[in-house]
Structure 1
């Protein structure tokens, strides 16, 4: 329930919920809140909504342990923490990690970290990716590091020691054996599952698998189905995956030749296929004969895709001409389609604000989504922030 953005002049802006210091800055506000039950509530100032403007307005993070010469190249967010990557390969973060029983902590002796802190022992990191409460990082040698909550085996490794306790997973560690012959070239994370693509362009996945969101079929349909460590995804073997993204219980990918592939949970139209697609051969059905899981990564026809993104139950694809399509759960309008009805199949967002824009990026949180367009230098300056 928060967002993080990196500007071209090396500023990091955050906004949203700051209960666990995920914004990386002080948002203390002395303003009052409107009592909606008060008898005179109709006479209250319409602008006094009870929202803390220091949270809801994008603002620059505190420096914390960041130095004046640190140049930032990537930002990413979990549910309750935020992270950034510098051009010289260091990772900084703030906030906290949560598990099934509440706050785990941010580091071994830190419950909640309010401002940017260097994440040791990470060095020479080239990319980061975040799930709901875990983080992946890939270094210059193609080694994948993970840390955070590991309750669904989304870290792909055992804790540091048998007696390390719940905070043992907060220390970054490699999630497998990597070397000159086998190394990672890309990483991605769903809410509780993870991916990397190796130097042979094969996909490896692990973590929660109750809806086959990893692409594996192990114990599909069972609540406690989990892939304990990185495992080659046979269903994506030789698919030529260019980009992959995970939602909560589904995943999406685009191939190097522009195909859009989806799989996993289907009851909120997360996979973007019509009900007529699902058969006994490719799906799992419930006792009422309704489809629950699309097992095999399946192409959505007639799309030339260059980018994919996934929120909890909502997904996005950008096509070759810069149009953005969305599908899935839309109860909070997070599909951008102007409706609270689920969007069954990938549908172009026909919104006047972006209709003539070249969309270059999309992302989604739990109940909201964001798209970014190519900046046009001859645009008029914003008026009243719009």
Structure 2
């Protein structure tokens, strides 16, 4: 309890005379905390936010949630109370709040999530005893345990902490991601942040939880990029630790460069951009940096099998072909076919024209068939003529 000058003098007297110790319970009794209302709850969460932003936050063993964030470079962390409920005893309470947070050096705008906090009434104040995602809300990486952090030159990697061996893996990943930034810069000719934020959860299930999707759809997916067009938080490249670990060194470079390309082209990717162009361009940017990689049939094995079996596709991949819940062969053929379509544009018309095609589709008038209409404007061919050239090249190169 805070005391003025009189209180200070009183403490001096208590030290000087043992008889005055009898007055100690009256002079220093803790004031019971008031019933919790919205204003009081907001003040409590404001204090909690300041503590979580404190550089010494990891040194508070009594708050395990704070320790989980100890290494995370937070720029901001702010709660907004949305509801307060207290149990019948008045000793425990539950808060609902919206949380805004930003990662320093990456998020130009906050990430917003709904949170639930459990509180207990103490002798002098209310205390947070637990924090978790609100029902139906996506968790943060820190909701799965302590977060390890590795800084690259242009990359920040956040991973579920699992010991020094795992930290070494995160360090290697950061180096590959830095290389990916450079490789994308040789393909995409527009300015972008040239910074990557990579998140590595501890399991495919944790990855799916971060994405708000069923785990089954991501079993064979090594990484995905989340984000939105326009002002907002930075894109996150979310890595599936099991699928990524199974890749060769070549495969890991392809995956990270592919995802970095999505980050670079985000500002030019819209609902008008067909997935064969967005995914194909990302694969083209990744593969062009690896001229000494495996032969073409090895890089496009699913499509090569289809061509050899007399099942060469008659059309470019549709958006439906890229569904993560699809048969793995269908999904693989979609990605490989999209890559080879963009490779055809770059080889026949040149890299600047491929980039111009990507931008022109984004700028096209809304409506179905934007990409097909733009093919004629940028490449001088109809959609049917382009598809025929693409199919002929598949038969030639993969047959």
TM score, norm. by length of structure 2: 0.27
Larger Rg: 2
User: Larger strand proportion, structure 1 or 2?
Assistant: 1
TM score, norm. by length of structure 1: 0.27
